[in-house]
Amino acid sequence: MHFKARASAAAADKALQAKLATAKGLFVEGRRRAVAEIDLEATREASKAIRNRCIANLDLWLERFEEEATRRGGQVLWARDGAEICRLVVDIARRHGVRKAIKSKSMLSEEAGLNAALEAAGVQPVETDLGEYILQINGNESPSHIIAPAIHKTKEEVAELFERVHGKPRKTDIGEMTREAREMLRAHFLSADMGISGGNFLVAETGSVALVTNEGNGRMVTTLPKVHVVITGVEKVIPTLEDLATLMRILPRSATGQTISNYFSVLTGVKRPEDTDGPEHLYFILVDNGRVDLVGSGFQDMLRCIRCAACMNHCPVYQTIGGHAYGWVYPGPMGAVLTPLFVGLENAIDLPHAATLCNQCGVVCPVKIPLPDLMRKLREQQVERGLRPWGERAALTFWAWLARHPALYGLAAKLGVRYLSWLAGGEDRIRILGIAPAWTDGRDFPAPEGRTFRELYSEKHR
């Protein structure tokens, strides 16, 4: 099913929109309150500058990160694409005789389809983020939001799922349901041999990975098992802990409206003799998967993204169609830009057009990514590469030619308006518009006054 079909189905799904609206209320209201505590514009500028600084010298900061992480007992591995991520993780699992891997949220593992690869290799992956867990036990459903993966489910749907899968009496209270999930997960936490996490930032000067979570599962995943594998995109590196402090002022506020997330970990190196916990083996899999090509391209700005989800939380289109309609890992405005860049322009032809360019996203983005401009640039590339439908191109070319010939344009406008008036048949609206049926499927088209401004004006000024 293509984007259009999925989006149309979702646009008619008022239950989905009600669920999204509840979450939107929390996120949008929460963000509004939280960003009022800081000098928002100055922090956005500073965050943008930090991210730009890393990306401008990405190779140098990555080398520095590798050096520091290695010095502290970590091993840095590089993956070109999703298949390489899977191969590396499976290799690590084999080397350490891993049978079960517990996971905290990692978007890269979604990009790679890692769970399926682990299962195929005889390793049981267990998602421990509550939202991801819900999706996993529901037949490996895909996430529909980057920080609230199960946002498309109601409490009742989850209660029903838990009852069915856990085989326990149905709960109705969210607290009780969470407790039940925690009990189910506890055994996994204790029996897993490997923890897999994403990383919000990599700190070059200390070789650390910073993790922002709200459920505490991230701590267990990264400290209990003897092996910890961090999988993250190469663009996540930042120079210093000082930079981390700045970005942390804006990330939780933009994401969930929190001053600081419930848990914030900066993990550095393997367990030392004097440490009470921590992994004995620490691997960093740093992934390209399309990112490196963006450096120096017209889309470099996109690499600043810190995956806060503010853009989708504020996007009227996302709020109407939800995340699944976007068809890949990343939904909303950031997905409308990233997906075509990562999976190929021709494989996501509708996404850059699935936006009104209202720029709600651009004004809330904590690192000032001009998302609508990037969508427009993708549209330009589609035109340059001949990927737009022939009819659309022909219509636009003809219209643009006409608009450069005022006399002919005036005549065409005059005739067009007469035609529209005739369609309205004396009413103040057109109910069915043959040339743009998609418009009148969902609303009327107000009838024109009857004559063009140009006609009336030249009459008056003759």
Partner 1 sequence: MRVGLFVTCLVDLLRPRIGFAALRLLEAAGCEVVVPESQTCCGQPAWNSGDRRAARLLAEKAIAEFEGCDYLVAPSGSCAGMIRAHYPELFADDPAWHERAAALGSRTYELSDFLVAVAKLDKVPGDFTGTVTYHDSCSGLRELGVKAQPRALLAKLPGVTLTEMDGAEECCGFGGAFAVKFGDISARLAEKKCENVRASGADAVVLGDLGCMLSIEGKLRRLGDEKTRVLHIAEILAGEP
Min. distance of Cβ 456 from partner 1 in angstroms? Answer: 5
Residue 392, contacted partner among ligand SF4, partner 1, none, CB below 5-8 A by kind: partner 1
The tokens describing 14, both together, are: 């008022």
What one-letter code names the amino acid at 205? Answer: E
Q: Near partner 1 by CB under 8 A, which window of 6-14, 139-147, 158-166, 204-212? A: 6-14
Out of 176, 280, 346, 380, the only residue in the binding site for partner 1 (CB under 8 A) is 380
Min. distance of Cβ 406 from partner 1 in angstroms? Answer: 4
Give 9 or 40: the residue with its C-beta nearer to ligand SF4.
40
Q: Near partner 1 by CB under 8 A, which window of 54-62, 89-97, 176-184, 438-446? A: 438-446
Residue with tokens 């499976």, as numbered in its chain: 90
Min. distance of Cβ 432 from partner 1 in angstroms? Answer: 12
Out of 321, 349, 351, 371, the only residue in the binding site for partner 1 (CB under 8 A) is 321
The tokens describing 119, both together, are: 């299962």
Residue 60, contacted partner among ligand SF4, partner 1, none, CB below 5-8 A by kind: none
Q: CB of 31 within 8 A of CB of 147?
A: no
Cβ neighbours around 418 below 10 Å, total? 14
Give 276 or 453: the residue with its C-beta nearer to partner 1.
453
Min. distance of Cβ 369 from partner 1 in angstroms? Answer: 15
Judging by DSSP bridges, how do beta strands 194-197 and 100-103 pair with one another?
parallel
Report if residue 234 touches ligand SF4, rule: CB under 6 A. no
Contacts of 11 (CB under 8 A, 6+ apart): 320, 321
Give 248 or 311: the residue with its C-beta nearer to ligand SF4.
311
Q: Near partner 1 by CB under 8 A, which window of 79-87, 125-133, 219-227, 445-453? A: 445-453
Assign 203 to helix, strand or coil. Answer: strand
Question: What's the CA gap between 158 and 150, in Å, rounded?
Answer: 9
Q: Near partner 1 by CB under 8 A, which window of 46-54, 186-194, 225-233, 350-358? A: 350-358
Report if residue 355 touches ligand SF4, rule: CB under 6 A. no
Residue 306, contacted partner among ligand SF4, partner 1, none, CB below 5-8 A by kind: ligand SF4
Residue 259, contacted partner among partner 1, ligand SF4, none, CB below 5-8 A by kind: none
Question: What angle do the packed helices 174-191 and 130-137 form, to 10 degrees?
Answer: 80
Residue spans of alpha helices (H) in 36-141: 40-56, 58-71, 82-95, 107-112, 114-120, 130-137
Report if residue 148 touches ligand SF4, rule: CB under 6 A. no
- Return the half-sphere exposure (C-beta side, CA atoms, 13 A cut-off) of residue 349: 10
Q: CB of 150 within 8 A of CB of 143?
A: yes
Q: Which residues sit opposite 265 in a β-bridge?
A: 211
Give 38 or 121: the residue with its C-beta nearer to ligand SF4.
38
Residue with tokens 């029996």, as numbered in its chain: 191
Report if residue 378 touches ligand SF4, rule: CB under 6 A. no
Report if residue 366 touches ligand SF4, rule: CB under 6 A. yes
Question: What's the CA gap between 367 and 306, in Å, rounded?
Answer: 8
Report if residue 458 touches partner 1, rule: CB under 8 A. yes
* DSSP letter for each residue of 248-307: HHHHHHHHTS-SS-SEEEEEESSPPTT-SS--SEEEEEEE-TTSGGGTTSTTGGGGG---
Report if residue 439 touches partner 1, rule: CB under 8 A. yes
- Answer positive or negative: Cα dihedral of 398, 404, 405, 409: positive
Question: What's the CA gap between 66 and 415, in Å, rounded?
Answer: 68
Binding mask 284-323 for ligand SF4 (x = CB under 6 A): ---------------------xxxxxxx------------
Out of 34, 194, 317, 371, the only residue in the binding site for partner 1 (CB under 8 A) is 317
Report if residue 365 touches ligand SF4, rule: CB under 6 A. yes
Report if residue 20 touches ligand SF4, rule: CB under 6 A. no
Contacts of 359 (CB under 8 A, 6+ apart): 371, 372
Question: What's the CA gap between 273 and 440, in Å, rounded?
Answer: 71
**Which parts of this chain interact with partner 1 (CB under 8 A)?**
4, 7-8, 11-12, 17, 316-317, 320-321, 353-360, 362-363, 376, 378-384, 388, 392, 396-397, 399-400, 403-404, 406, 409, 413, 416-417, 420, 428-429, 436-439, 441-446, 448-449, 451-454, 456-458
**Which parts of this chain interact with ligand SF4 (CB under 6 A)?**
305-311, 334, 365-367, 369
